[in-house]
Amino acid sequence: MASAPSIPPPSAPPSPWLPFESRRRARDEKREAVLRAAVQLFLEQGYHRVTLNEVADRLNITKPALYNYFRGKDEILFECWSMGAELVDSVITEIAAGGGSGLARLRKLVHAYAALMATDFGASLVRFDLRDLAERNAGVARAAKKRIDATFRRYIAAGIADGSIRPCDPKLAAFAIAGSLNWIGHWYRRDGGLSPTEIADEFTVRLTEGLATESRQKIAKKTPRAPQGRNSGRKTTGTKRTGGGTG
């Protein structure tokens, strides 16, 4: 008597859950989408005027859905600020690894920082009031600002030591440079006449030529170029072009 054909066991139904790494990536992407929408609203209207309902509406989700990612508006504010701080930290780490004279490192930092100030998360570093943060988070933010200031001073001092920067007070020079760069976060507009790269190019020359022991022409030739953005084909001439990015 012939044996009955074997019947393979039924296959398990596909899991309704994404693999862990995919779920984490999806959550991170949604979390970042919340931050992008929130930082735009905070910069457009001011932190206190924006409600979580408005953030949810911009994302086309419900307000309760936001609580899957953040506990409240103040946490969103801090995370937006942190995104900007992480971008600066990344730049500083890259510059430190590259070496070079004090002037070379200062110019790289000025260029990168200027370009970051023309982004939403970069602008959040100077547009948000630290008094709106929880005390612990405000302390973290103040410490980060001190680290950035210390980096500017360190590069200026290194340039004085290696002869690439004229003798000066590193503290005052750092204040002058950072103050000019930070103001970009207040006046830059996407619909202005200059791209972030053009602004960074111009500020790098203007803010370092008075410190450098080299001639202005040599500095201009060595200005680091960031990835090309819009308006990259335009030439920057005169004061009219410099003011083109203001609103």
Looking at the chain, how many residues does it have?
A: 247
Residue 228 pLDDT > 80: no
Tens digit of pLDDT for each residue in 168-198? 999 999 999 999 999 999 999 888 788 899 9
Sign of the dihedral defined by the CA atoms of residues 187, 190, 196, 202, in that order? negative
Average pLDDT over residues 134-149: 94
Distance between CA atoms of residues 128 and 23, nearest Å:
32
Please give the pLDDT value at position 33: 93
Residue 25 pLDDT > 60: no
* Domains within the chain, CATH numbers bracketed: 24-70 (1.10.10.60), 81-245 (1.10.357.10)
Cβ distance 102 to 195 under 8 Å? Answer: no
Q: How far is CA 95 from CA 63, 79, 89, 180, 185, in A?
A: 41, 24, 10, 21, 22
CA-based R_g, the chain, Å = 24
Tens digit of pLDDT for each residue in 101-125? 999 999 999 999 999 999 999 999 9
C-alpha triplet 230, 236, 241: angle, nearest 5°: 90
Tens digit of pLDDT for each residue in 158-171? 999 999 999 999 99
**pTM metric for this prediction:** 0.74
Helix ranges, the chain (H): 20-45, 52-59, 63-66, 73-98, 102-117, 120-127, 135-162, 170-187, 196-208, 216-221, 238-242
Cβ distance 123 to 117 under 8 Å? Answer: yes
Average pLDDT over residues 72-98: 93
Tens digit of pLDDT for each residue in 28-47? 888 999 999 999 999 999 99
